[in-house]
Structure 1
């Protein structure tokens, strides 16, 4: 949970409902920049992948879940809970065309993941595995699984760059139909945590606070909320 999420939670009793809806995860809503272009292009290439399995790596809030959603729309992929991996027996009756494990770092049953990867490969299915860091001997104890993971191609998403943060802020403000002070986007881009989730949470908080006070979205209001986040 980001700082903006936490502040919004604390003020929930004072704020109106969020009417902007959940974030959109269509391909058209994904903002491509140098930090994520290679990953977006690889997802868009499916099923023309160099290997049935693909590792998508990047920090929290970089857009991995959005790319998972795009891949799921393209491939009708099955989302597999990393904390409760499906066994081949559960999938044998109706093997999926593709599968997604969004949270490689959260997998505890390495043997189950190894068997799942083997089953999907043998059944001709694709597998998208998402994590924050490359698999290594320090993070993966099962040698066979580590070997299999290391053979999979890797695409990485970097932390959002300045251009992407600005583009995301502009889109979020536009989606909420907010008229803002000139220079507000640049002001926020320099001060917010480098995370798409943080940008989304702060714009929601800014919108809610402006509505609650009956005020426009101004740089002064944004600065007040940023200061509240720093002291919370």
Structure 2
């Protein structure tokens, strides 16, 4: 385990941290010596993950979090700020991917993706940006997808939310001189993202492709760790990371 100095150790908030990329990022950043604050709906998993991080010598705190609620996200950020005196990094990772053709008209799935993937990212920004602006420093990491760079059939709405996250991030980066903004765009990654919702046949096809191609979530966490570790005057604006075999 690395042990950065007090000046280098950061207070890092991670949404969607009960599994997949969020869990792997929590492990990686805690191993790098940072204080991680975990947020997700499944509090039992957060508690178990926090225990494992602490057992490995890391520092972890957690709080139940629903990113679709602005009050929930503000409370998440403000509690961390009150406890630790600052918020250095937010990793906006929470996401859902219930895929289907547009003509299936799965409107509830569309709204869920908009609420979690886009609105949840906006809620995270709204919660931490005033705190970071007041300090004159901070780092917002938004997890998008290779689907923010290409559109595939059955993924139109998912891609739309991820294109929006990418556009939002670039706009925020251009508006900022003291806040760093990073977009991480993973391809097929081992996670639970494709396990829930959407058209069952599409879900099975995505799962089969993922089983063949997917990279470990820890690889994406390493990319996030790299971006976070850069000097304050260096902004890693975007990282696209995917399996070599992914088209």
**Shared fold, TM over 0.5:** no
Bigger-Rg structure (1/2): 1
TM (norm. structure 1) is 0.30
TM (norm. structure 2) is 0.28
User: Which is richer in strand?
Assistant: 2
Higher relative contact order, chain-length normalized (CA < 8 Å, sep 6+): 1
